Structure 1
Amino acid sequence: MLSTKNLSPRQIAAINAASISILVAIANFIFIGSWWVALLTLIILYTVAYFLILFFLQQFIYRRIKLIYKFIYQTKASKKEEVYYKYIIPHKSIDEVSEDVEKWAAQKSDEIEILKKNEAYRKEFLQNLAHEFKTPIFAVQGYVDTLLNGAMENPDVRKRFLENTARNVERLVHLMNDLDEISKLERGEQILYKQNFVIQDLIKELYESLSIKLTEKHIRTSIKKGCEAPVTVFADKEKVRQVLINLIDNARKYGKIEGNIVASVYKTEGDRVLVEISDDGIGIEKEHLPRIFERFYRTDKGRSRDKGGAGLGLAICKHIIEAHGQAMHVRSTPDVGTTIGFTLEKKKDL
């Protein structure tokens, strides 16, 4: 049995022309009684009806579907596209056109979802940015107003307020520098000065330089057993230093008293080295993990703000590592600890 689901315009024209010509031929045979007249009528009428129906059907489909495809692609048709609309589209079944429209609708739906997420991210980013600037600016304004309203006469108050003002101005300067650095990294304007260096030596150096802060919480630092053998990487040493300082300092901030910070270095397959910094601190909830590298994102806004910083550190780290053509990752379990790692290129023969 002939399926009417995916009929082409030619098939529709043939079926309709056959139906009309057969009925007229039968009528001629009944009333005239001549089979050759009926056969001649059948052939002539079928031919004429077929081409007439096909012509008008193609014109109808061409005009309607052309508008649909122009709406889908939202472009002015070139001569090649006009040929496609005129000769290819009319041969498509309605189901094929419907499938094209459904694909377009699904694509647009995905684009709308992405736009909604980007809009939500933009609003959240602007709110966080406004908050980060508002806090030190209001503090500076309060200190200056108090000084201008008579507090300058008291030397102790004047000194304390000016020191607090200087700290808040310094916070604003750091915030602006961090945002400027992220912008340059995103635009690819930060030049990387790559060199070969032993990554374990840099980690030990940073453990030493941060030792005063680490001893405040009696945190022990180490390189994981089996990872002590020197591994040379090819990267911008100062940029990697910046990344490691941020990761070690975060491990200190959110690590427990008398806890541990452990660095691991692994040679992976190919030309990469994996570097990880682990702590046994408070950890991060699963729902926060995909977003911790976003600008200003905090897993616990109040607690994180008390720890200091503007929430830009991990975002800068991510951009630095991506500028090297590498990637960052995070693993964490609440009350167990967090591991943040990144890859670097292996030693290169210069």
Structure 2
Amino acid sequence: MQLHTFLWPARIIEGFLFGALVLGVELICFSFLASSVNLSEAAKRQSLRAEQQLSLAYEQQQQLEELRDQFLMNVSHELRTPLTEVKGYINLLLEYGNKIDEETQSSFLQSASYGCDELELIIGNVLDMSRIGKDLKPLRMQELLLAVTLHEICEHVYLQDHTLHLDIPADLTVMADRQQLRQVLRNLISNACKYSPAHTSVVVSAGAWEDDMVRLCVQDAGAGIVAADVPQLFQKFSRLKRDIASSVRGTGLGLYISKQFVEGMGGRIWVVSEGVPGKGSCFCFTLRQGAATRVDGV
């Protein structure tokens, strides 16, 4: 019996091998094409993402430039107004000083002094903004009597026909950097006066809070802040649309700097407001209690 009677004929075997070879080549080509398509799609997606990122970066840069321009315009206006007032009172005294009674002279000098204090606050905010995040000025934490600190501040805050009420325990102390705490309180009290109707009250209160903290609050009687506007309050250069369209001056730095300072001293800051005119807003922040307060059990 011949061998080919038990095995496939040679021609069939050759055809099978050739078919298998062709199929293998086709599979390799298909795999290569599929891989090429996938790579092409991935490249397109990556290119699209890069374009979107560039577009977003460009928009952010444009927004930043607009904010910067608005900030420079605001600062220019903020500085010019109190400077004009100071110069005006000084010129009046120089020209008519000998014809004005002492009480009026004293009033003019007090107004000029308040104008200088306002200039100092604005310039301080601008300088502080440039230093934030650069560790150019280390904190000098110390135990401070809040009542004493607030009375010192009141001498340098222009209340603009508002009444300031202090509800501060005489022996309540906090751990804070004196200069930064003064800047935070001056910003909050100044804002409360600017955004409240004349002849209303601004109330500053403080008391023991949870976890050995002290909570300080500045309450005004202004228009309030709606919930949708709260997230942007503490951002750099940020001002609410209603305020930009109003006669109220501002640089958009006070709350931003206050937040940075409070958090740097180990506290947090927030606002409570119903957004209802007349009910106003209450800006609160926390600082760690001083040792004397904890010992006395306040």
Name the TM-score class by shorter chain: 0.5 to 0.7
- TM-superposed deviation, 1:340: 0.8
How far apart, CA to CA, are the structure 1 residues paired with 2:68 and 2:158?
35
- 1:263 aligns with 205
- 1:238 aligns with 179
Q: Secondary structure at the match of 1:233?
A: strand
How far apart, CA to CA, are the structure 1 residues paired with 2:70 and 2:174?
37
- TM-superposed deviation, 1:195: 1.9
- 1:37 aligns with 14
Q: Residues 175-254 of structure 1: matches in 2 within 5 Å? A: 175-197=122-144, 201-203=145-147, 205-207=149-151, 210=154, 217-223=162-168, 232-254=173-195
Q: Residues 100-115 of structure 1: matches in 2 within 5 Å? A: 107=53, 110-115=56-61
Contact 1:261/1:277 (8 A) holds in 2: yes
What do the CA deviations read for 1:133-165 (whole angstroms, capped 9, x no partner)?
56678x59x98xxx9xxxxxx9449x99xx9xx
Contact 2:67/2:237 (8 A) holds in 1: no
Deviates more, 1:39-48 or 1:290-299: 290-299
- TM-superposed deviation, 1:347: 4.7
Q: Does 1:339 align with 2:286?
A: no
Query: Among the aligned pairs, what percent are the same residue?
Result: 27
TM-score under structure 2 normalisation?
0.62
Q: Secondary structure at the match of 1:304?
A: coil
- 2:70 aligns with 124
Q: Secondary structure at the match of 2:285?
A: strand
The structure with the largest alpha-carbon Rg is 1
The one of 263, 268, 271 equivalent to 1:330 is 271
Contact 1:262/1:279 (8 A) holds in 2: no
How far apart, CA to CA, are the structure 2 residues paired with 1:169 and 1:233?
30
- 1:25 aligns with none
How far apart, CA to CA, are the structure 2 residues paired with 1:99 and 1:265?
56
What do the CA deviations read for 1:226-279 (whole angstroms, capped 9, x no partner)?
xx596653321332133223323433444453535141435235x654432223
How far apart, CA to CA, are the structure 1 residues paired with 2:133 and 2:225?
27
Contact 2:272/2:283 (8 A) holds in 1: yes
How far apart, CA to CA, are the structure 1 residues paired with 2:183 and 2:194?
16
Contact 2:75/2:251 (8 A) holds in 1: no
Q: Secondary structure at the match of 1:181?
A: helix
The answer to which structure has the higher helix fraction is 1
| Corresponding residue pairs, total | 261
- 2:219 aligns with 278
Q: Secondary structure at the match of 1:192?
A: coil
Q: Does 1:314 align with 2:258?
A: no
Structure 1: gaps spanning 5 or more residues: 1-32, 66-93, 148-153
How far apart, CA to CA, are the structure 2 residues paired with 1:244 and 1:51?
74
Contact 1:219/1:252 (8 A) holds in 2: no
How far apart, CA to CA, are the structure 1 residues paired with 2:229 and 2:31?
61
One-letter amino acid matched to 2:259: K
